[in-house]
């Protein structure tokens, strides 16, 4: 991106800077004239939306950190003080806590877009992997932030999630003590969680930079999944997609602001209003909604895995649940190699499309199951849906890669756009 030919700028200040550090040339090349497929639909807004949400979270987070006290005796009170006494503290906190939810909404839609239109396929595998990495970092950051108000839900959520690591054979208990810095979730735990919650968003920012860099090497995928071949297939990013992104962003931000101001506790839980008590578990611990499907997968493994009718157990139920939960995210990393079908877009793959929509339904179902008490029908339903989740990735996708016959794919983006126009006329 550095050396090479550079066009002169008319403005002398811009030119002075650009001839020493070509940031204006870079922006012009990557966001001004950057050739972008001309057939994007609104699904392509969500990368930019997620980026804006990340920045929103960092800005609101930094000012909240100036008021928050990371100490087990003071944290809960300091959050109440933010809500009552700090100027606009209530607004900043509402924007930050609901911002997390809307960040996840944007990212989940963004991930679905990638899966539906086959954006993870060659040559965008690394781009996809960086995205999954961002998703994992987001989950870690969100979990750490959830504990900071030191409420019943936060403290016990921290206990449950850190205890996941105790399932690791041999070193599990030592590792959990290390994570806690003690023998239970207490002051040392809170302080390190705060430090990491502050650090990780900047790590996310760095990975987002790599994600966008990789995107600008391969170029964007598009709803047809057909690579642009000629200049007729693309348009410059500015003004066409800066305008389209801004429009979508404004709609999204309106929903975000509506919830933050008028329904601020729609995603919250009463146990967030009670200070953490290490001697009393709330009757019903639930994570934030964006973790519920994975939480349901964790709880679905209620049985030991071993040789039937003997006492030989290879994987205890607890470790099995933890492996299944991390596996549910981890499988996304290898998706580009599970799905080797040459056609990218689900538009031309009716069977893949149907199975993917069923997967989305299963994930919603798991989210519902994750919010219910772990008993009766919910256990069985959770197991069935978990079964489909892994069936999709490990059986349906690889099999369809081999046997599915795609419907005719247009020869170019331009041809498909003209065809559509002709039909309309």
Partner 1 sequence: MATKAPSKPQQSETRRDFLYLTAGAFGAVGAASFAWPFIDSMNPAKDTLALATVEVDLSPIQVGQSAKVTWQGKPVFIRHRTPEEIARAEGVDVSALRDKQADADRVEKPEWLVMIGLCTHLGCIPLGQKPTDPKGDFDGWFCPCHGSHYDISGRIRKGPAPKNLAIPPYEFLNDTTLKIG
The rounded distance, in Å, linking the Cα atoms of 89 and 199 is 22
Q: Does 238 bind partner 1 (CB under 8 A)?
A: no
CB of 260 to partner 1, least distance (A): 30
Among candidate residues 78, 96, 110, 245, the one labeled active-site is: 245
In angstroms, what is the minimal distance from the CB of 162 to partner 1?
A: 8
Host H or E run for residue 171: none
Which of the stretches 123-131, 162-170, 265-273, 336-344 binds partner 1 when contact is defined by CB under 8 A? 162-170
Near partner 1 by CB under 8 A, which window of 30-38, 84-92, 277-285, 346-354? 277-285
Nearest to 148 by CA among 99, 185, 98: 185
Return the C-alpha torsion angle 214, 140, 363, 323, nearest 10: 100
DSSP 3-state of 303: coil
Minimal distance, residue 74 CB to partner 1, in Å: 18
Residue range at the interface with partner 1 (CB under 8 A); choices 152-160, 238-246, 339-347, 403-411: 152-160
Spatial separation of the C-alpha atoms in residues 417 and 314, rounded to whole Å = 55
Note if 339 is an active site residue: no
Where does residue 305 fall: left (phi above 0), alpha (psi -120 to 50 degrees), or beta otherwise? beta
Q: Which residues within the stretch 190-219 sit at the binding site for partner 1 (CB under 8 A)?
A: 192
Q: Is 211 a catalytic residue?
A: no
Q: Is-catalytic flag, 229?
A: no
Closer by beta carbon to partner 1, 270 or else 342: 270
Nearer to partner 1, 26 or 160 (CB): 160
Kindly give the residue spans of alpha helices, DSSP state H, lying in 224-338. Answer: 237-262, 292-300, 317-330, 335-338
Specify the residue, 15 or 186, whose C-beta has the smaller distance to partner 1. 186
Determine, following the binding rule CB under 8 A, whether residue 184 of this chain makes contact with partner 1.
yes
231: CB partners within 8 A, 6+ apart: 35
Of all helices (H) and strands (E), which one includes residue 129? helix 125-147
Shortest CB 135 distance to partner 1, Å = 23
**Single residue of 97, 107, 190, 301 touching partner 1 by CB under 8 A:** 301
In sequence order, what are the residues at sequence separation of 6 or more whose Cβ sits closer than 8 angstroms to the Cβ of residue 5?
none
Catalytic residue from among 151, 220, 260, 345: 220
Residue 110 interacts with partner 1 (CB under 8 A)? no
Interface with partner 1 (CB under 8 A), residue total 40
318 is a catalytic site residue: no
Query: Would you put residue 226 in left (φ > 0), alpha (ψ -120 to 50) or beta?
Result: beta
Binding of residue 19 to partner 1 (CB under 8 A):
no
| Nearest alpha carbon to residue 413 among 238, 219, 213 | 219
Q: Which stretch binds partner 1 (CB under 8 A): 205-213, 257-265, 318-326, 390-398?
A: 318-326
182 is a site residue for partner 1 (CB under 8 A): yes
Residue 283 as a binder of partner 1 (CB under 8 A): the answer is yes
Catalytic-role residue among 18, 233, 288, 339: 288
Does residue 284 bind partner 1 (CB under 8 A)? yes
Binding segment for partner 1 (CB under 8 A), chosen from 3-11, 55-63, 115-123, 373-381, is 373-381
Q: Which of 220, 259, 203, 224 is nearest to 45 (CA)?
A: 220
Contacts by 299-308, CB closer than 8 A, 24 or more apart: 299/370, 299/374, 299/379, 299/382, 300/324, 300/379, 300/382, 300/383, 300/385, 300/386, 301/386, 302/379, 302/383
Distance CA 413, CA 410 (A): 7
CA distance 130 to 214: 9
Residue 66, classed as helix, strand or coil, is: coil
Active-site annotation holds for 18: no
Q: How far is the CB of 321 from partner 1 (least distance, A)?
A: 6
* Contact residues: partner 1, CB under 8 A: 156, 159-164, 166-167, 177-184, 186, 188, 192, 278-281, 283-285, 299, 301-302, 304, 316-319, 321, 373-375, 379
Residue positions annotated with a catalytic role: 216, 220, 244-245, 288
């Amino acid at each position: 991106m550095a050396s090479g030919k550079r066009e002169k700028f008319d403005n002398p200040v811009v030119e002075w800077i650009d001839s020493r550090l070509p940031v204006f040339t870079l922006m012009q090349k990557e966001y001004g004239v950057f050739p972008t497929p001309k057939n994007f639909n609104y699904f392509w807004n969500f990368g930019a939306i997620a980026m804006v949400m990340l920045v929103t979270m960092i800005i609101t987070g930094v000012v909240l950190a100036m008021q928050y006290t990371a100490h087990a005796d003071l944290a809960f009170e300091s959050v109440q003080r933010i809500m009552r006494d700090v100027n606009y503290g209530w607004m900043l906190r509402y924007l930050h806590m609901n911002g997390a939810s809307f960040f996840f909404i944007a990212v989940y839609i963004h991930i679905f877009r990638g899966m539906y239109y086959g954006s993870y396929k060659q040559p965008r595998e690394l781009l996809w992997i960086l995205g999954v990495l961002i998703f994992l970092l987001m989950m870690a950051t969100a979990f750490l932030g959830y504990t900071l108000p030191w409420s019943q839900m936060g403290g016990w959520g921290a206990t449950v999630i850190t205890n996941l690591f105790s399932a690791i054979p041999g070193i599990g208990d030592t590792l959990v003590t290390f994570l806690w810095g003690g023998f239970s979730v207490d002051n040392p735990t809170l302080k390190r969680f705060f430090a990491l919650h502050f650090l990780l968003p900047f790590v996310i920012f760095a990975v987002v930079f790599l994600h966008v860099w990789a995107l600008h090497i391969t170029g964007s995928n598009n709803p047809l999944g057909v690579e642009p071949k000629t200049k007729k297939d693309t348009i410059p990013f500015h003004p066409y997609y800066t305008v389209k992104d801004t429009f979508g962003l404004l709609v999204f931000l309106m929903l975000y602001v509506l919830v933050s101001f008028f329904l601020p506790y729609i995603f919250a839980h009463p146990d967030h209003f009670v200070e953490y008590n290490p001697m009393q578990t709330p009757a019903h611990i639930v994570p934030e909604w964006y973790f519920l499907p994975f939480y349901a997968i964790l709880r679905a493994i209620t049985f030991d895995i071993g040789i039937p009718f003997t006492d030989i157990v290879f994987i205890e139920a607890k470790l099995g649940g933890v492996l299944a939960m991390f596996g549910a995210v981890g499988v996304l990393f290898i998706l580009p190699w599970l799905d080797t079908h040459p056609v990218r877009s689900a538009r031309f793959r009716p069977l893949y499309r149907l199975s993917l929509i069923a997967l989305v339904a299963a994930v919603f179902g798991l989210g519902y199951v994750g919010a219910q008490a772990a008993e009766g029908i919910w256990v069985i339903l959770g197991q069935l849906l978990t079964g489909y989740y892994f069936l999709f990735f490990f059986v349906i996708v690889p099999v369809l890669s081999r046997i599915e016959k795609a419907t005719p794919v247009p020869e170019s983006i331009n041809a498909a756009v003209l065809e559509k126009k002709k039909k309309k006329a």
